[in-house]
Chains A and B, each alone.
Chain A
Amino acid sequence: MKTNKPNKQKKFESKYWLLAIAVICVVCMGASFFADIKSGPLRVIADYTVIPMQKGINMIGTWIGDVGENFATLKEVQKENEKLKEQNETLKMENSQLQQKSVELDRFYELYKMDQNTSDYPKVGARVIANNGSNWFTSFIIDKGSEDGIREDMNVLSGSGLVGIVTEVRKHSSTVRSIIDEVNVSAMVMTTFDQCIVSGDLKLINDGVIKFEQLPNNDNEVAVGEQIVTSNISSKYLQGLLIGYVSDVKVDSNNLTRSGYIIPAVDFKKLQEVMVITTTKQDLIDNGNQQ
């Protein structure tokens, strides 16, 4: 009997522990629905514990990658160099032509008081240091935080395409949620300015596509390969960021709207460096209001 007693006590104890954890977790989940409880001390914990280590591992990883690349044969590089030199010359020519045109364009922009182009948004480069461990979500951590001027809701690009949006900012790192996890991004067809809704989908991204819906079924034809960009009415995304290219479009059964699939401009599996646009949509709106 004597040996049984402490055993029994222990059982009760762990039961109560679980209950306590469950209650705390449920309360926290409820709280994070309504308020941002992740600000404050909780944010600091991650920033000073695991994230420096993730940065370190990532640095080692890129170093190993670089060493591996160094083994690529010199000949290949030389050949490429020659090719690039040729290309460089032609590009220089094109560039000077384009510069002349861009001066003209600037004048037109001023005349029409048009908004700035994508390339004019101020950007900060950042490195992806860790990605979400689960197979269900596509969020990742970058190595820039509030100290580097990153704020919540900033848009994140890779190359020319939209990757996602900053959801959480710590001092030296921030979490980015990709558009695959995002539903209902307001977008438009680049050439016709027809509005549509883009939604990421775990099921579709395995086939390499995301879907768009509610594109008005008007006379404007949407061809395969057409660019879909973020729209001017989106509340969180800046206007004109490339989401991807139309791969398939069909008229819905209601005959009023069209829907289809987009091939994203970004390869979400191979993200290493990203660009964060340091203006948010809210900034632009506020600026507009002031003026």
Chain B
Amino acid sequence: MQTVKRKAIEVIMIILFFLLETTVFQYLEIASIKPNLLVILTASFGFMRGKNEGMFVGFLSGFLLDLCFSRYIGFYTLLYSVIGYVNGFFKRLYYSDDMKLPLLLISGSELIYGLWVYVFQFMLQSDFHFLYYLGHIIMPELVYTILVTLILYQIILRINRRLEDEEKRSASKFV
């Protein structure tokens, strides 16, 4: 029961973040750069809950992006699944009070995202202006995403804490 509830809430969050990213945030662009909300969500669930849930959230986020925007189905799905999986490795180091590790990991995930898109969609089409893209898209997006993380991460953290509390309570009931 609890896992169903958790999954349902995760799905709702993914859809909500996806909608925010594609509609509202086009009006909040700074220097024509938008933050990447789905990376925040995927990475957060990765290091908060482990590889499996990171992969679950990443898979769905990527799949939504693929359905709506990608030319090749599977491109974003794989990318976000990998991001969720890799962040799962850091579950052991993670304490919910510490803000440094989440920021670091989300920056890292953003970097993976940027490099992935550049390598597979631009470099393979013989577009080698890597430094330009690094300076004008990857790094600004990273900075903006980090700024948004400062707010959004608190919300994700609170939702996760509440879910974990409920799970513990229902588990102790059975015992």
Contacts and interface: CB of A to CB of B under 8 A. Distances in A.
Contacts, number: 130
Nearest to A139: B69
Contact of A29 (B32, B75, B129): B75
Interface centre among B29, B51, B73, B121 (most CB of A within 10 A): B73
Contact of A32 (B25, B36, B74, B85): B74
B137 A135 contact: yes
Majority SS at the chain B contact face: helix
Interface residues of A, number: 47
Nearest to A57: B23
Contacts of A28: 72-74, 77
B10 interface: no
A224 interface: no
Interface of B: 15, 18-19, 21-27, 29, 32-34, 36-38, 50-52, 55, 59, 64-65, 67-69, 71-75, 77-78, 81-82, 85, 88, 117-118, 121-122, 129, 132-133, 136-137, 140-141
Contact of B65 (A45, A129, A133): A133
B11 to A, nearest CB: 10
A77 interface: no
Interface of A: 10-11, 13-14, 17-18, 21-22, 24-29, 31-33, 37-38, 42, 45-46, 49-51, 53-54, 57-58, 61, 129-137, 139, 141, 167, 175, 202-203, 206, 269
A11 B33 CA distance: 37
B68 A50 contact: yes
